[in-house]
Amino acid sequence: GEDVEQSLFLSVREGDSSVINCTYTDSSSTYLYWYKQEPGAGLQLLTYIFSNMDMKQDQRLTVLLNKKDKHLSLRIADTQTGDSAIYFCAYNSGYSTLTFGKGTMLLVSP
């Protein structure tokens, strides 16, 4: 299987919460990341979590990490149309090189 797996698509209504899930295989990674990519753009770092943490909150974003199950999730509260984008889960390995999933496309409808 893939090193990082994500569901490909998520559709929510504006104002709802969005939860994007990710599973990974490398248990030695020290950090896990969420990046956002808008059409025609590069990757924007949203948030990251150290592997010895269970949760990290940053304004509307909440990251949950279950290290035992190698499961990472990103919750976006009060989702807005501007949150529509592709979201990538990634972990670091080696000299902070990143291994990415294929991304989850989030579509927010008004």
Partner 1 sequence: DAGVTQSPTHLIKTRGQQVTLRCSPKSGHDTVSWYQQALGQGPQFIFQYYEEEERQRGNFPDRFSGHQFPNYSSELNVNALLLGDSALYLCASSLGNSNQPQHFGDGTRLSIL
- Site size toward partner 1, by CB under 8 A: 23
Integer Cα distance of 73 and 12 in angstroms: 16
Q: Using CB under 8 A, which residues numbered 49 to 78 contact partner 1?
A: none
The count of residues in the chain is 110
Q: C-beta of 94: minimal distance to partner 1 in Å?
A: 5
Binding letters toward partner 1, positions 3-32, x by CB under 8 A? -x-------------------------xx-
Integer Cα distance of 62 and 1 in angstroms: 27
For the chain, the straight-line distance linking the first and the last C-alpha, in angstroms and rounded, comes to 36
Only segment of 56-64, 65-73, 77-85, 100-108 that touches partner 1 (CB under 8 A): 100-108
Integer Cα distance of 76 and 58 in angstroms: 10
Q: What is the contact surface with partner 1 in residues (CB under 8 A)?
A: 4, 30-31, 33, 35, 41-45, 48, 88, 90, 94-103
